[in-house]
Structure 1
């Protein structure tokens, strides 16, 4: 293992994917708060260097370790792209480098969670489930769960704006999710600014994570787009089994990357149930990629100021981040408790 050095609180912040749809927001917001310390990075070295950053490819763990060692003074890494496995997280944590991970795949997040002891030993903090979904959905679920004094079921709903220009990796991840098996049924739900919509079960990582972190035995996350037509088309692909064909997934990824029918608003809802009890919280905003970046920047700021404990933690396990939805109010995010009977 690499010898751990005590990280300076003035260390640099490496934003991997720092020029992408999410990373550009992370880079600009952190640069406002920590001027001169933010380094955008990514696989496209020329693009990163034009922004004053460096090349760093998460697809090549050995090269990534070399970059960290050559820079020498990296205090934190914000991962805005998803590696194939936990080796990038390990490279950071074994060097005592803090980590903020915007990844959305449960298998990867679960593997990184297994590095908790390593992070504690090295004095590093890693925060997982950072973004809109997972992320803000986890925090809404926590509120609804607590409002009941403990829930035995959570239903989470995510509506995304199909007019927003999402990054190719995000679109590819969404299309791949259509091939995952589901057992729950679609559900009609009321979402702020969008009325009643039909949302379909979808393999967001929050539903797996929250079963462990909140101890709720049944958690389901559902997805719809602001365009009912595109929602119907998307989930028709699942019903016909077309999403299991790699060629069709590539065509769908290309189509959804280029076609932008709808707006850029998004909405979230968390419903908690315990017997006859019910509590729900709703959140709305614009530009999901931008808000994901804002969440990551807020979390990174907390990590860098030493406000969070060492170890690996999902966002809902950190009380210092519980008010994060309200912090985004100046950026157009609204959050409230749903009225009794609203959308049940």
Structure 2
């Protein structure tokens, strides 16, 4: 397998660097690479205040001008979702490595189509970076391998409804609450939360894991720490009311309302169960502030991209063996890892 050279020099550009995830990525990488991290965003005022650059991922020519101005960008950590794969293509055509925290399956599939470009320019793009996708993909691979090749994988994500998520994350969640889904709801146990009902939700990890692991059936489900809010949201989806989110006016209103709801805490948990015949292997992680852990996963990924040999092309996080231990590596930051047996943990 062709790999990238280790010890890459150059700066790290963080578009979306002023958001809930981007601020964490910037702060963490700045501790590891002092003076090399450049946060970016659409606000010129915040760019001046934070010593960053004004950059808009919806403006490809403007994005190219920023790269030209900085001159020595080695890695772009994309913490804001662009409308298409153009920004990724620009980075890879220039031989700039990419770390993408996006969760939209269609967009990530479009970036996957840039593999040949990345190999030609000796660049690497890492997708499915964060909590879900991200840690879920790593746990899915671990459970899949331990069960001896899963026939079905169930991923359950519980988010804290009291956490203050970034505006882009809220918009994405509201929009996808109205999206068509396959699969049934599932009752399962989550460490620290007990038995919960989770509902199918179009996180990209289920699509990526089906491809990277070759598992025919992968379903991701979502619930919130607030049982009441979970019931209200998915009850509204079942009645079709959330289809209004696809319209600009109602969509903005729902996003505003959802962003102001802080009825629970900031703890989150994810669980992955791999099934083969009558066997099941499950793993789960639990922590506080999902945005913070998304940032930590992205920062660790960027650091290893700069220091370690990586396969050239476009890969998902679980395809990087050097990061398979990332859930355990994040234990000092407050992430707990559980191996699940018959609904219990040990």
TM-score tier by shorter-chain length is over 0.9
Measure, in 2, the Cα distance between the counterparts of 1:241 and 1:23: 34
**How far off its partner does 1:7 sit?**
11
TM score, norm. by length of structure 2? 0.95
State how 1:313-328 maps to structure 2 within 5 Å.
313-328=315-330
Q: In the alignment, which residue of structure 2 is the partner of 1:50?
A: 49
**How far off its partner does 1:183 sit?**
2.7
Q: In the alignment, which residue of structure 2 is the partner of 1:140?
A: 139
Cα distance change, pair 82–7 in 1 and its aligned pair in 2 (3 A) = farther
Any gaps of 5 or more consecutive residues in structure 2? none
Any gaps of 5 or more consecutive residues in structure 1? 1-5
Instruction: Decide whether the 8 Å contact of 1:7 with 1:97 is kept in 2.
Output: no
State how 1:80-229 maps to structure 2 within 5 Å.
80-229=79-228
SS at 2:344 equivalent: coil
Measure, in 1, the Cα distance between the counterparts of 2:308 and 2:278: 42
Q: In the alignment, which residue of structure 2 is the partner of 1:41?
A: 40
Measure, in 1, the Cα distance between the counterparts of 2:240 and 2:338: 38
Instruction: Decide whether the 8 Å contact of 2:266 with 2:289 is kept in 1.
Output: yes
Q: In the alignment, which residue of structure 2 is the partner of 1:284?
A: 286
Measure, in 2, the Cα distance between the counterparts of 1:198 and 1:173: 22
Measure, in 1, the Cα distance between the counterparts of 2:30 and 2:272: 33
**How far off its partner does 1:123 sit?**
1.0
Q: Over aligned residue pairs, what C-alpha RMSD do you find?
A: 1.4
Cα distance change, pair 118–326 in 1 and its aligned pair in 2 (3 A) = same
Measure, in 2, the Cα distance between the counterparts of 1:254 and 1:283: 30
Q: In the alignment, which residue of structure 2 is the partner of 1:303?
A: 305
Q: In the alignment, which residue of structure 1 is the partner of 2:253?
A: 251
Q: In the alignment, which residue of structure 1 is the partner of 2:236?
A: 237
Which stretch of the first structure deviates more once superposed, 178-187 or 148-157? 178-187
Measure, in 2, the Cα distance between the counterparts of 1:160 and 1:224: 7
Measure, in 2, the Cα distance between the counterparts of 1:178 and 1:15: 28
CA deviation profile, 1:283-336 (whole Å, cap 9, x unmatched): 000000010000000000000113322111000111011011111111100112
Instruction: Decide whether the 8 Å contact of 1:175 with 1:249 is kept in 2.
Output: yes
Measure, in 2, the Cα distance between the counterparts of 1:212 and 1:34: 34
**How far off its partner does 1:182 sit?**
1.8
Instruction: Decide whether the 8 Å contact of 1:308 with 1:320 is kept in 2.
Output: no
Which stretch of the first structure deviates more once superposed, 271-280 or 236-245? 236-245
TM score, norm. by length of structure 1? 0.96
**How far off its partner does 1:341 sit?**
4.5
Instruction: Decide whether the 8 Å contact of 1:227 with 1:262 is kept in 2.
Output: yes
**How far off its partner does 1:213 sit?**
0.5
SS at 1:175 equivalent: helix
State how 1:57-96 maps to structure 2 within 5 Å.
57-96=56-95
Measure, in 1, the Cα distance between the counterparts of 2:56 and 2:113: 23
**How far off its partner does 1:138 sit?**
0.4
**How far off its partner does 1:342 sit?**
3.3
Count of matched residue positions in the alignment of Structure 1 and Structure 2: 338
CA deviation profile, 1:148-200 (whole Å, cap 9, x unmatched): 11000000000000000011111111111111112311111100000000000
CA deviation profile, 1:1-52 (whole Å, cap 9, x unmatched): xxxxx99822010011111100000000000000010000011122022111
CA deviation profile, 1:76-116 (whole Å, cap 9, x unmatched): 10000000000000110100101000110000000001111
Spell out structure 1 runs of 4+ moving beyond 4 A.
none
Kindly indicate whether structure 1 or structure 2 has the higher relative contact order, using CA contacts under 8 Å at least 6 residues apart: 2
Instruction: Decide whether the 8 Å contact of 1:8 with 1:73 is kept in 2.
Output: no
CA deviation profile, 1:190-233 (whole Å, cap 9, x unmatched): 00000000000000001111111000000000000000011011
Measure, in 2, the Cα distance between the counterparts of 1:160 and 1:63: 35
Cα distance change, pair 191–36 in 1 and its aligned pair in 2 (3 A) = same
